[in-house]
Amino acid sequence: MAKYEHNKIKTAWQIFRRIENWPAAFDLRLRRRRPGLRLLRFRDGLNVVCRGGTQDWDVVHELFFAGGYGRAMSFLKGLPGQPLVLDLGGNIGLFSLLAARAHPAAEIFAYEPGPPNHRIFEINRLANATFSERIHLHTEAVGGRTRAAEWFFDDLNPGGSSLFGAGSGTKFAVQIRAFAELINSLAARVQLLKMDIEGAEFELLADTPREVWRRIDAISLELHDDPEKKISRLEFLNRMTDFGFTTEEETVCSYFLHR
């Protein structure tokens, strides 16, 4: 899938229109190497804390200005009742905030194992009191098998941190919970699953029985290369088709799978 490109003029207009303290956003965008936390106050009441000197701004742009997860959010908005949403690979919490804003009764269970990302996620959760009680943040990774492992933090691209960065980045000991165990522990169906776990999706596919996938209605998937180089991205999507999902490309860098 091709990477999207920023439209600089459109982005500048959106920053003015949507962010109350717009100079902080321009600072993040233009002074990328400057460290420190920045608070972005969106005019609709959303508060987002980002880290200067990292690619956090690119994640904000992708999700809030470039329409990332657009199909997923439209799907979520149309659901009745109290939909259950899983956010695997929570990073700093932007998907969870979008989901909580999209549906006023959605319950979001987010999983982010890395302490540096988890801390910012928790700040963002608490900075949005309207949503905070509906976002349940867990300090675990989700993979194919339950086990302890090492997680590698990329300080320039925190969203790209993963279980597969041996030899680079700061190492953290983390706990991995099996995806099948997680799904089977839930009392309700998962109506939307977001999965951006930097290659661990391939072990989920390998180790999760077909009947577990049947308990999921829709998936927002950022698909990476298989770290073990066993199957291709196309083969991954074909397996998901076998599980009963229809695949559509999202507006930005991901797929939306639904039944």
Instruction: Give 191-250 pLDDT, tens digit per residue.
Output: 999 999 999 999 999 999 999 999 999 999 999 999 999 999 999 999 999 999 999 999
Mean pLDDT of 97-117: 97
- Tell me the C-alpha distance between 209 and 231, whole Å: 17
CA 169 to centroid of chain Cα atoms = 20
> Domain for residue 166, yes or no?
yes
> Domain for residue 1, yes or no?
no
In 3-state terms the chain splits into helix, strand, coil percentages (rounded to 5) of 35, 25, 40
Q: How many domains does the chain contain in total?
A: 1
Band (pLDDT 50/70/90 cuts) for residue 166 is low
Residue 9 has pLDDT above 80, yes or no: yes
Mean pLDDT of 43-48: 97
Mean pLDDT over each residue of the chain, to the nearest integer: 94
Q: Going by C-beta distance under 8 Å and a sequence separation of 6 or more, which residues neighbour residue 104? A: none
CA dist 150 → 14, 21, 113, 213, 246 (Å): 39, 38, 10, 27, 34
> Domain for residue 53, yes or no?
no
pLDDT value, residue 253? 78
Band (pLDDT 50/70/90 cuts) for residue 4 is very low
Using one digit for the tens of pLDDT, what is the confidence trace for 54-96? 999 999 999 999 989 999 999 999 999 999 999 999 999 999 9
Q: Give the domain CATH number at 232.
A: 3.40.50.150
CA nearest neighbour of 70 among 196, 250, 198, 230: 250
Mean pLDDT of 128-143: 97
* H or E stretch covering 47: strand 47-52
> Domain for residue 254, yes or no?
yes
Cα dihedral 67, 72, 73, 77 in deg (nearest 10)? 150
> Domain for residue 7, yes or no?
no
- Tell me the C-alpha distance between 78 and 80, whole Å: 7
Local structure of residue 255 (DSSP, 8 states): E
> Domain for residue 156, yes or no?
yes
> Domain for residue 213, yes or no?
yes
The parent domain of residue 117 ranges over: 67-258
Amino acid type, 96: S
> Domain for residue 41, yes or no?
no
Residue 18 has phi, psi (to 5 degrees) of: -110, -15
Local structure of residue 1 (DSSP, 8 states): -
Mean pLDDT of 156-173: 88
Beta bridge partners, 19, equal 42
